[in-house]
Amino acid sequence: MLPVNSKCNDRYRSPRGDFTNFLKRLDLILQKLYNNKYNIIICGDVNVNYLMDSNRRSQLDAVLHSYNLMGIVEFPTRFGLKSQTAIDNDFINISTIGKYELYPLMNGLSDHDAEMLILNKGQKKEKECYSYTKRKINKCTIADFQL
């Protein structure tokens, strides 16, 4: 875990922020943390849509792949009135983590859904169950969110 300091905003990348600077800082952090003894899991809002191919996605993947990390979110995590994106992601080393399960988790507190990542270290998988939740966006739910 990184120490909290006056530059804590460095860990969030604003959609309007300097993407090249974000990649450089991410690379520096991973250089310090990377060790074959430990699994690194990165979770968060990277403001790069993983539902579509783009130059920014390719650049971010290049940095992460150099540390054997890959994005595993393949479903929308942010819902707008006319759009869906996957700008929140979990990045793991699937070659060392092995089996995992990832589910969308609607938290009702934000326009971003959370993800629930379950790591299965050699555990036998029981019956699979899936549940999906749709978010209603209308004047009332927007007012509730703003409140």
On whether the CB atoms of residues 97 and 39 are closer than 8 A, the answer is yes
Determine the pLDDT at residue 108.
Answer: 73
Q: How many domains are contained in the chain?
A: 1
CB 72 within 8 A of CB 100: yes
Whether the predicted pLDDT of 11 surpasses 70: no
Please, which residues have CB within 8 angstroms of residue 24's CB and are 6 or more apart in sequence?
none
Query: Which pLDDT belongs to residue 60?
Result: 96
Supply the pTM of this predicted model: 0.67
pLDDT tens digits along 118-132: 887 654 445 566 676
Does some domain include residue 3? no
| Alpha-carbon gap, residue 46 to 85, rounded angstroms | 12
Q: In this structure, is residue 137 part of a structural domain?
A: yes
The answer to the question of residue 56 being in a domain is yes
CA angle centred on 57, ends 51 and 59, rounded to 5°: 170
Q: What is the CATH number of the domain that holds 57?
A: 3.60.10.10
The residue assigned the tokens 């555990």 is: 123
What is the torsion angle, in degrees rounded to the nearest 10, for the CA atoms of residue 79, residue 51, residue 60 and residue 90? 70
Nearest-angstrom CA–CA distance, 129 and 70: 25
pLDDT in tens, 31-69: 999 887 888 999 888 889 999 999 999 999 999 999 999
Q: How confident is the model at residue 141 (pLDDT cuts 50, 70, 90)?
A: confident
Structural domain that includes position 66: 8-146
Give the position of tokens 């979110």.
73
C-alpha count within 13 angstroms, C-beta hemisphere, residue 141: 12
**141: its two tokens:** 């739910």
Q: Which of 36-40, 78-82, 90-94, 127-131 has the highest average model confidence (pLDDT)?
A: 90-94
